């Protein structure tokens, strides 16, 4: 199928002439003319009105919304407007799934397709081609799309409604978002530790008890803070039916996820008898992974089968997602039921027990005509015979599954996790971590390069996941999903040879009109330039990266009181910070796209300069390859690392003592040294057990000047004050505290130490 499709692409490559119209995702081919036609009061015609009644109503309502007019004023007979014709025809050739064509001319707008799905996609393209003029007329540009269709069959968006709950009205709005990007799968993550969200008639406590918690984490996980508010909610089966119908009409299949055997705390709080030790449990307000999971005993399987019976009556799609991720084996190792099952079934270990669990559920669902899909952990201990795999811990799981001839949906954290930051964390509200800006999503290709042509056929597509630990409300879902959803949509719809980020960036500007029309709270972080600093020959430089390669930038530098130190000027790439370096001076670099005042989005980077800034640092022991920063220069780049951490701003060592020596370049009198440190015991990162600061004039003979922190020290930044010394070299030694103590996360493992900016006064 893929080969066939590629042939078609090759034969009608498009020419984009000019004009401001834009479609996202980019069609297989599209040509724009110079004329615009009025569709303010267009009549919608079709030869198959009974088949297309939903599509006609949808188009009519969307045009009304687009024109923002009083419905009674619209669709009166208006001789200025051309008709819109929808034509459903039976293909005599094999056209790809979802195919449509679209032509706008002075006579009519003509959309044809071989399926209602194709008509719907044609409508989405038409809606994006509309422009509302100043005189309130809705016009559409002269356009020819000779044939457009998606590259991948699975174009998915996921939403976690357990960590935070979103009512049915918002779920419909989310489906609208998915539909307008021509995506076709909604992965509804309905159950997790922090809340069970789907009514199950045979087990009412799942939602009565499992749907509610008495606290939630506040701020980032690393802060370990909680509120004490009751929080929860669930969907009734009637509501779910309504959503399924809503999605189906919009050509979207819902894949429900019922998590097992892990992420089950909410279910186990309601029915502790399905755990290994019987509980009692509470629905946790803490995020993460919990040791208490479903116990693979007969009663549990019967329970889950009854749950899935009801799930299957609600969701008609082929795939049922059974989770399978992040299931600790702690309880299973000491549970006599679990150990007996391992013996009876002649299983090697608890991983094979997990595989047994999943295979049992698969058999049950297969018998009901359904196929399971699970997170890539379901590969461990042996993949169930008919399972599809969702590759999230990188691409390896997907590669392995494709080689085993199993269907794969790619969703690696690096490119597909929309709970990650999309901009500099200094300018974003708190997120889980990571850095997945719009361009990174756009550059993703779901086909791993390692796969051969035969294996590639098993890649169904990809999806983006919206986990909601740090996404408490619907506005924030929209903010995290848009416009990254547009980038993912284009990754999945458009062929690689049609994809160009600068062009996409331009088309996004026109998509924003659609977002604004719908009132979506989309992010504009993608328009912020990226600012980094580094040193070259002892001089501090900045690097200004425009958000799109063809954009010019302006930048300026502000002082601590926000007065202007360096007025705005044009420039990008590497630029020396040609400011007289005043020790201890705070400055802020600001940069923005030049020439578009209405869309200015400023990127900024605060700097803190000292005698050490831009000076060379020698490390006795190199940091871990996982946390190398941009080399030792990261310690003197003028930028204090952030929390939540951007890994590239911190240097990290595991188990090692650390010795850092700064060459100030010349002898000078100094009396204060400080350094940033990261302390996060949950993540195995500890403060040193001892410090030593020593100084030297010649780089050979060092004199210790401090081993005690000064009172100014905090957990984030430690200070050392000493009697003034003449020195050119400053050495900081930090002793590793050794193995992590019992009772702490990572007990028995080596402690990490993480450091960043060094200041010398
Ligand atoms: C996952 O992110 N735990 C699938
Ligand atoms: Zn057990």
- The DSSP annotation for 538-573 comes to TEEEEEEE-SSTT--EEEEEEETTS-EEEEEEE--E
Q: What's the residue count for the chain?
A: 761
Phi first, then psi: what are they for 76, rounded to 5°? -70, 160
Atom 3 in ligand 1: which residue has the minimum CA distance?
A: 325
Catalytic residue of the set 158, 164, 263, 476: 263
CB of 163 closer than 8 Å to CB of 469: yes
CB of 138 closer than 8 Å to CB of 40: yes
Relative to the alpha carbon of 187, which ligand is closest? 1
The SS3 of residue 288 is coil
CATH number assigned to the domain covering 154-523 = 3.20.20.80
Work out which ligand 1 atom sits closest to the CA atom of 390: 4
Ligand 1 contact, 421 CB (< 6 A):
no
Whole-structure pTM over 0.85, yes or no? yes
- State the CB neighbour count (10 A cutoff) for residue 579: 15
Catalytic residue of the set 326, 585, 657, 659: 326
- Longest Cα–Cα distance of the chain, Å, equals 93
Please give the class, per CATH, of domain 616-760.
mainly beta
- Compute the Cα dihedral for 145, 147, 151, 155 and give only its sign: positive
Work out which ligand 1 atom sits closest to the CA atom of 392: 4
Work out which ligand 1 atom sits closest to the CA atom of 465: 2
Relative to the alpha carbon of 296, which ligand is closest? 2
**Ligand 1 centroid – CA 325 distance (Å):** 6
Atom 2 in ligand 1: which residue has the minimum CA distance?
A: 392
Distance CA 422, CA 439 (A): 9
Work out which ligand 1 atom sits closest to the CA atom of 375: 4
**Ligand 2 centroid – CA 375 distance (Å):** 22
Ligand 1 contact, 326 CB (< 6 A):
yes
Residue 735, beta-bridge partner list: 690
Long-range contacts of 558-565 (CB under 8 A, 24+ apart): 558/587, 558/588, 558/590, 559/585, 559/586, 559/587, 560/585, 560/586, 560/587, 562/588
**Ligand 1 centroid – CA 289 distance (Å):** 10
Ligand 1 contact, 413 CB (< 6 A):
no
Residue 316's nearest CA partner among 373, 259, 252 is 252
Relative to the alpha carbon of 333, which ligand is closest? 2
Distance CA 252, CA 173 (A): 13
Q: Where are the beta strands (DSSP E) in 594-647?
A: 603-608, 616-619
Ligand 1 contact, 500 CB (< 6 A):
no
Ligand 1 contact, 394 CB (< 6 A):
no
The tokens of 741 are what?
A: 């103590």
CB of 262 closer than 8 Å to CB of 233: no
Listed in sequence order, the residues at least 6 apart from 92 whose beta carbon sits closer than 8 Å to its beta carbon are: none
Q: How confident is the model over 155-208, as pLDDT tens digits? A: 999 999 999 999 999 999 999 999 999 999 999 999 999 999 999 999 999 999
Residue 585's nearest CA partner among 361, 761, 379, 445 is 761
**Ligand 1 centroid – CA 295 distance (Å):** 20
Ligand 1 contact, 325 CB (< 6 A):
yes
Distance CA 698, CA 551 (A): 48
Ligand 1 contact, 392 CB (< 6 A):
yes
Active site residue 351: no
Work out which ligand 1 atom sits closest to the CA atom of 417: 2
**Ligand 1 centroid – CA 340 distance (Å):** 29
- Compute the Cα dihedral for 645, 651, 657, 660 and give only its sign: negative
Distance CA 240, CA 138 (A): 36
Tell me which residue has tokens 């116990």. 295
Active site residue 687: no
Which residue among 390, 467, 468 is best mutated to probe the pocket of ligand 1, counting the most ligand atoms within 8 A of its Cβ? 467
Distance CA 574, CA 565 (A): 19
The SS3 of residue 259 is strand
**Ligand 2 centroid – CA 335 distance (Å):** 5
**Ligand 2 centroid – CA 368 distance (Å):** 27
- H-helix or E-strand spanning residue 265: helix 265-270
**Ligand 1 centroid – CA 462 distance (Å):** 14
631 DSSP 8-state letter: B
Which residue among 192, 287, 325, 432 is best mutated to probe the pocket of ligand 1, counting the most ligand atoms within 8 A of its Cβ? 325
Work out which ligand 1 atom sits closest to the CA atom of 467: 2
Listed in sequence order, the residues at least 6 apart from 90 whose beta carbon sits closer than 8 Å to its beta carbon are: 114
- State the CB neighbour count (10 A cutoff) for residue 409: 29
Ligand 1 contact, 657 CB (< 6 A):
no
Ligand 1 contact, 417 CB (< 6 A):
no
3-class secondary structure per residue, 333-364: HHCHHHHHHHHHCCCCCHHHHHHHHHHHHHHH
The SS3 of residue 667 is strand
Catalytic residue of the set 55, 142, 192, 292: 192
Relative to beta strand 100-104, strand 109-113 is antiparallel
The tokens of 525 are what?
A: 């972080």
Residue 127's nearest CA partner among 43, 58, 184, 32 is 58
**Ligand 1 centroid – CA 392 distance (Å):** 7
The tokens of 378 are what?
A: 């379901």
Which residue among 324, 326, 389, 411 is best mutated to probe the pocket of ligand 1, counting the most ligand atoms within 8 A of its Cβ? 326
Ligand 1 contact, 212 CB (< 6 A):
no
> Which residues are within 5 Å of ligand 2 (an ion), measured at CB?
276, 295, 335, 337-338
Relative to the alpha carbon of 278, which ligand is closest? 2
Residue 156, beta-bridge partner list: 185, 463
* DSSP class per residue in 474-525: HHHHHHHHTTHHHHHHHHHHS-GGG--HHHHHHHHHHHHHHHHHHT-----G
5-148: CATH superfamily: Chitobiase/beta-hexosaminidase domain 2-like (3.30.379.10)
Distance CA 405, CA 6 (A): 22
**Ligand 1 centroid – CA 390 distance (Å):** 10
Residue 645's nearest CA partner among 440, 425, 470 is 425
Residue 60's nearest CA partner among 3, 138, 158 is 138
Which residue among 374, 375, 389, 463 is best mutated to probe the pocket of ligand 1, counting the most ligand atoms within 8 A of its Cβ? 375
Phi first, then psi: what are they for 663, rounded to 5°? -100, 110
Mean pLDDT of successive 10-residue segments in the chain (761 residues)?
Answer: 32 38 94 93 89 95 81 58 93 86 96 96 96 88 97 98 98 98 98 98 98 95 91 98 98 98 98 97 97 98 98 98 97 97 97 97 98 97 96 97 98 96 92 92 97 98 98 98 98 94 93 93 96 87 93 93 91 82 76 86 93 95 93 93 80 97 96 95 92 97 96 94 96 97 89 96 92
Active site residue 326: yes
Work out which ligand 1 atom sits closest to the CA atom of 326: 3
Q: How confident is the model over 249-277, as pLDDT tens digits? A: 999 999 999 999 999 999 999 999 999 99
Relative to the alpha carbon of 409, which ligand is closest? 1
CB of 671 closer than 8 Å to CB of 710: no
Relative to the alpha carbon of 394, which ligand is closest? 1
pLDDT of residue 579: 63
Relative to beta strand 319-323, strand 371-375 is parallel
**Ligand 1 centroid – CA 59 distance (Å):** 37
**Ligand 2 centroid – CA 277 distance (Å):** 7
* DSSP class per residue in 403-451: HTT--EEE--HHHHBTTSBSS-GGGS---SS-B--HHHHHT--SS-TTS
The SS3 of residue 205 is helix
| Alpha-carbon separation of residue 519 from 123, 157, 352, 375, 559 (angstroms) | 20, 20, 49, 34, 37
Relative to the alpha carbon of 287, which ligand is closest? 1
Ligand 1 contact, 375 CB (< 6 A):
yes
- State the CB neighbour count (10 A cutoff) for residue 399: 20
**Ligand 1 centroid – CA 326 distance (Å):** 7
Distance CA 358, CA 424 (A): 40
Task: Please calculate the CA angle 151-155-161 and round it to the nearest 5 degrees.
Answer: 175
Ligand 1 contact, 288 CB (< 6 A):
no
């Amino acid at each position: 199928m893929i080969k066939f499709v590629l042939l078609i692409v090759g034969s009608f490559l498009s020419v984009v002439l000019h004009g401001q119209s834009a479609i996202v995702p980019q069609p297989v081919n599209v040509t724009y003319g110079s004329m615009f036609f009025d569709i303010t009061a267009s009549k919608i015609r079709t030869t198959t009105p009974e088949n297309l009644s939903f599509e006609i109503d949808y188009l009519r309502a969307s045009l009304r919304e687009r024109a923002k007019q009083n419905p009674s004023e619209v669709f009166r007979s208006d001789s200025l407007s051309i008709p819109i014709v929808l034509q459903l025809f039976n293909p005599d050739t094999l056209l790809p799934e979802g195919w449509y064509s679209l032509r706008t001319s002075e006579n009519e707008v003509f959309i044809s397709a071989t399926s209602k799905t194709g008509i719907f996609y044609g409508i989405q393209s038409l809606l994006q081609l509309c422009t509302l003029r100043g005189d309130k007329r809705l016009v559409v540009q002269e356009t020819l799309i000779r044939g457009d269709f998606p590259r991948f069959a699975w174009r998915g968006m996921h939403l976690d409604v357990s960590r935070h709950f979103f009512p049915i009205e918002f779920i419909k709005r989310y489906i609208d978002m998915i539909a307008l990007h021509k995506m076709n799968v909604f992965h509804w993550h309905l159950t997790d530790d922090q809340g069970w969200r789907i009514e199950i008639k045979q087990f009412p406590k799942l939602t009565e008890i499992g749907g509610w918690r008495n606290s939630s984490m506040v701020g980032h996980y690393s802060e370990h803070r909680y509120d004490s508010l009751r929080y929860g909610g669930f969907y009734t089966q009637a509501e779910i039916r309504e959503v399924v119908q809503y999605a189906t009409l919009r050509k979207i299949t819902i894949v429900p996820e019922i998590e097992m055997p892990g992420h089950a705390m909410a279910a186990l709080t309601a029915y502790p008898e399905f755990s290994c030790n019987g509980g009692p449990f509470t629905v946790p307000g803490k995020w993460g992974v919990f040791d208490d999971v479903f116990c693979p005993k007969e009663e549990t399987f019967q329970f889950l089968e009854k749950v899935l019976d009801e799930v299957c009556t609600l969701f008609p799609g082929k795939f049922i997602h059974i989770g399978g991720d992040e299931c600790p084996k702690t309880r299973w190792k000491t549970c006599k039921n679990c150990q007996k099952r391992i013996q009876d079934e002649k299983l090697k270990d608890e991983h094979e027990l997990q595989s047994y669990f999943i295979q049992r559920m698969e058999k049950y669902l297969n018998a009901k005509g359904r196929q399971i899909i699970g997170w890539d952990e379901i590969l461990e201990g042996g993949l169930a015979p008919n399972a599809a795999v969702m590759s999230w811990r990188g691409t390896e799981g997907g590669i392995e599954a494709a080689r085993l001839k199993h269907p794969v949906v790619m969703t690696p954290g690096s490119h597909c996790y929309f709970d990650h930051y999309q901009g500099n964390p200094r300018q974003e509200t708190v997120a889980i971590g990571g850095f997945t800006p719009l361009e990174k999503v756009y550059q993703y290709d779901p086909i791993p390069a390692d796969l051969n042509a035969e294996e590639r056929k098993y890649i169904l597509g990809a999806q983006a996941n919206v986990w909601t630990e740090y996404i408490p409300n619907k506005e924030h879902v929209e903010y995290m999903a848009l416009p990254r959803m547009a980038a993912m949509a284009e990754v999945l719809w458009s062929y690689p040879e049609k994809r160009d980020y600068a062009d996409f960036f331009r088309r996004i500007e026109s998509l924003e009109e659609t977002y604004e029309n719908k009132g979506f709270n989309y992010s504009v972080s993608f328009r912020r330039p990226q600012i980094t600093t580094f040193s070259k020959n002892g001089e501090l430089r900045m690097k200004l990266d425009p958000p799109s390669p063809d954009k010019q930038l302006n930048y300026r530098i502000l002082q601590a009181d926000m007065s202007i130190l360096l007025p705005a000027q044009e420039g990008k790439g590497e630029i020396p910070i040609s400011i007289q370096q005043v020790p201890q001076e705070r400055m802020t670099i600001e940069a923005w796209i030049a020439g578009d005042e209405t869309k200015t989005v400023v990127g900024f980077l605060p700097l803190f300069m000292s005698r050490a800034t831009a000076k060379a640092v020698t490390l006795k022991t190199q940091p871990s390859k996982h946390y190398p920063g941009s080399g030792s220069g990261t310690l003197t780049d003028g930028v204090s690392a952030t929390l939540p951490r951007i890994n590239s701003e911190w240097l990290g060592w595991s188990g090692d003592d650390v010795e850092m020596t700064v060459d100030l370049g010349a002898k000078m009198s100094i009396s204060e040294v400080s350094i940033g440190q990261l302390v996060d015991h949950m993540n195995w990162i500890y403060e040193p057990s001892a410090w030593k600061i020593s100084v030297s004039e010649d780089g050979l003979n060092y004199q210790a000047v401090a081993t005690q922190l000064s009172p100014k020290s905090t957990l984030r930044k430690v200070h050392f004050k000493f009697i003034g010394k003449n020195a050119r070299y400053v050495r900081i030694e930090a002793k590793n505290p050794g193995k992590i103590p019992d009772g702490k996360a990572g007990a028995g493992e080596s402690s990490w130490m993480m450091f960043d900016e060094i200041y010398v006064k």
